[in-house]
Structure 1
Amino acid sequence: MISKKSNNAINLISWISIVAIAVTTASLVVILSAMNGLTGTVADLYNAFEPDIKIGVNKGKNFSPSTSLLEKIKSINGVQFVSFTINDKALLKSSENQVLVTVKGVDSNFAHVTNIKNAIVDGIYNLNSTSKNNVLVGNGIATQLQINLREYNNDLSLISPTKGKNESLNPEDNLTQVYLEPSGIFSLNDEFDYQFVFVGMQTARKLFEISDKISFIELKCEQAKVADVQEKLKQLLGENFVVKNRYELNDILFKTLETEKMATFLILAFIMIIATFNIIGALTMLIIEKQKDIKTLFSMGASLSLIRNIFMREGFLITGIGTALGLLLGLLVCWLQMEFHLVKFGDEFVIPYYPIKIQLQDFVWIFGLIMLIGFFAALYPVRIFTKKDLLH
């Protein structure tokens, strides 16, 4: 590739080709790993809030789960924990402010089904107290209502319209109000922090006047069996219920992230195609320079395929060296970010530094794509400039 007899221009173009391929390959590795890290971080945030599988009714808001149905769900291989939840809107009021929130009433298993305890930044979970109506509020709501857990004047209450026929002329008689004591503050992202509060199941039943109904059945499953459990639940429950996994609960978000990753991959692949034009130039110049040697080999009985293979290997060598260097460089950059957190976020972000997640399949895709592009980049000049009529 870089023999002493080679022209300096050919050497220069060969090195430019290697550097261009290496830089583009490294960029692919770093950017795709960063996208993986971002997707993983988002998934972790939703892990704290969403279960592996959520079951709801196809029509309506609430339903009454039978004991036999619950036993059948628990008996499915792969199901670890089952939790009942109630979801509805209510007005959360403090002594000075008020805000409309989504109330999620949870039972004692909810902390096992999700990682909500890991999201608590102040206070404790403690939603299963039988003596108090405790509430876990989002950080954004806590800011809006000026909730401070170290103060004793956190006068909070949830207000919901009374169910049934409202006959009283006094508006307050048509409202159900439950007084609360904040036990903790959680922080996930703005979507949750400014919208959700968690209360115990009994508190939710009292607030919404629901005696035996629930909104959702939420499941914690063995990760390797989530798909199997979901399929069995669909067969068990039929069309009257909706069974969704965590990905499907937030499908728009995750599909957007996947689309961004694919778009990034295609853009960098296009840049890689442009970079491989250097290989075409280097091989073209090399073949032209070696025309006399090629004709000599051909006249001595060397086959056309043998001659072409020599230059194809030259192209593969340039591509292979560039790809290998790029993969190593990209891996090094990813490792440095993972170990030393070189690229940091501000304090307002959920995570302090840009996340990186290396996936083997990305390396396979990158290596395969670049070698394929390199093959066609080498094939064009080799076939054009080693035609049989040019060797006579």
Structure 2
Amino acid sequence: MRRAAEVWPLRPTVRYARTLAEALRTETIGGIVMLLATMAALVWANVSIDSYEALRTAGFGPESLHLNLELYKWAQNGLLTIFFFVAGLEVKEEFVHGELANLRKAALPIIAAIAGMVVPALVYLAVSWGAEDASRGWAIPTATDIAFALAVLAVTASAMPAALRAFLLTCAVVDDLGAITIIALFYTDHLDVVMLLVGAALIALYGLLQRRGVRSLWAYLPLAVLAWYFVEVSGVHATVAGVALGLLTRVTTNAGEDSSPAERADHYVRPISAGFAVPVFAFLSAGVRLDGDSLSVIFSDRVVLGVMAGLVIGKFLGVFGGAWLAVRLGLARLSEELHWRDMAAVSALGGIGFTVSLLIGDLAFGADQERATAVTTGVLAASLAASMLAAVLLHVRVRKRRNGLDDV
């Protein structure tokens, strides 16, 4: 006998609802800070591109340890590791206490998120087909920037049901897991196996200490730094270490504990990630010229057009189509408090790529500075377009709900 599909969203536990509320609040504020950092970078770059480039490419760090990196590389490989550590905590929390604790019950956001990665990649490949080195950039439009997306949702549609924000956050968690997998598998150019094994051993030791209930910060901080270092010099992108450490952080509460290590880490690290690490990365990555020549390139390079189409069109079709398909196939049912027009509006938010899209763009085309700059401009333009489209759709939905016209 076939089991009935679960209505989504599920009833959250008190713990998960509290965690979700804190995450939404912090990421929303972080999105606003990141927007200000992006605007500052654009202003500086268009006033004096030479001084901006001099800042972002200034190198420092011990050469003997292979850590003499440019400033923007420190932001990519160092600060974004903090971001992905928080992403790892989110994934672990979702799998143990959240919507992903039962994969069958979480079919709606899981299928929507997976389709939201596959369809943009296909759209990108279709648009960029035949362009030189186009295949390296297929993953750029697969990512959604949760901080920006939540900020747009909070500013334009705070009156929408909380289930819609939970859907967006759950999709983003699956999206982050997919993104870090893609980076590890497809954007590792060289590999030092010995260094990677040492890094893996340190990460495993971190996990063992978590299981043993060790609580001292000074037991974990050196391990985390050393694990980051060995993964960094192994050739695998250092952010993989961040998400691995997050996934191994304990999310259950032992006797005598008021909160789990994951809750405590999230409480202290998430504000650093959202309020400092990601905005600094945005500031050092988003500074591009916006003159006529620069803007004309994004409409003449099929790689950039593919990125933009993948984000604005592919993400919408993927997320909305995946959710619709999950319901159509009987794998999930939509809650009565949500409507398909609500889902369409929030699906448009998936096109806000930014943080991870900029990271993958640099990993894909960093050796070709002209194209890398054009791709950055394309990601910014597409994220802006997706933000405006989503804001309009959400505004319409809020107004119809306010006027009692939900089915119109």
TM-score range, shorter chain: under 0.3
Q: TM-score, normalised by structure 1?
A: 0.22
